[in-house]
Structure 1
């Protein structure tokens, strides 16, 4: 998402962050297979570290996007009622792939990391276009 925003000259308008719904791997870098797939496409994930979602995230961010139904369920459970409209799924914004969710490739092979990255790119591009189309990034 950061790359798309940067390429569109919108990076200064949006704060992008990532957080897990569980405390697995907090403080750790992304899976080496994810880093390898990303590196092939020109993304450097080496400085990223996992963190778990916090209550402050529901106040700080305008959108909280889950990758799958399990993530969305946890977000819904943790989310204050007044913030529920901020929740969604990334693939709702996808334009090229007809998938409902981004499945976790952790217990799968390298090709699954490539597919997941394609889904994420599609969803992120669609999300950015949706934000622009709805005036969320206008001056």
Structure 2
């Protein structure tokens, strides 16, 4: 399974999501079975590391995202990934509008796809402070648990003798 997390600039939400998902999946029965990456719909930060506040928040929870570098969503991503999981509705709209003919990847809001109850969008913490980054981290941690549950269930159903 190949998942791409998408936000606007690929310096706050999506690299933090990539880091949280990598850490949680590595510690789960899905370890080694899920490939992850992140991208932004915009090109403002291409090549830049994640926002220092996102790096600090991840580090606070034992996750290192400092080596990640921002990149922009490419047409090939619609063929290379199974799911393009978006931070908010604007990102989802942009991802779908950029889908090339014959795209195989499906797209959805990350929180909805992961089954996180009560909230559908991850707010952009870029203009906020520590409280906003903490809120985003908590949403992403809940999303990671939901992603693992969804993929583990799907894996069980696709094995012989299951569903």
Q: Normalising to structure 1: TM-score of the pair? A: 0.90
Aligned-pair CA distance for 1:136: 7.5
Q: Identify the residue that residue 80 of structure 1 maps to in structure 2.
A: 100
| Aligned 8 A contact 1:94 1:124 in 2 | no
| Aligned 8 A contact 1:76 1:84 in 2 | no
Aligned-pair CA distance for 1:112: 0.2
Residue 57 of structure 1, aligned match among 62, 66, 77: 77
Q: How many residues matched?
A: 138
Q: Normalising to structure 2: TM-score of the pair? A: 0.78
Structure with the higher fraction of residues in strand conformation: 2
C-alpha RMSD over aligned residues: 2.0
Gaps of 5+ in 2: 1-20
Gaps of 5+ in 1: none
Cα distance 1:2–1:137, how it changes in 2: closer, same or farther (>3 A)? farther
Aligned-pair CA distance for 1:94: 4.1
1:77-124 CA-partner distances (Å, limit 9, x unpaired): 0113543761001111143x5211001100111110010011111112
1:106 correspondence with 2:119 = no
Structure with the higher fraction of residues in helix conformation: 1
Q: How does 1:1-139 map to 2 (within 5 A)?
A: 1-80=21-100, 82-83=102-103, 86-92=106-112, 93-95=114-116, 98-135=118-155
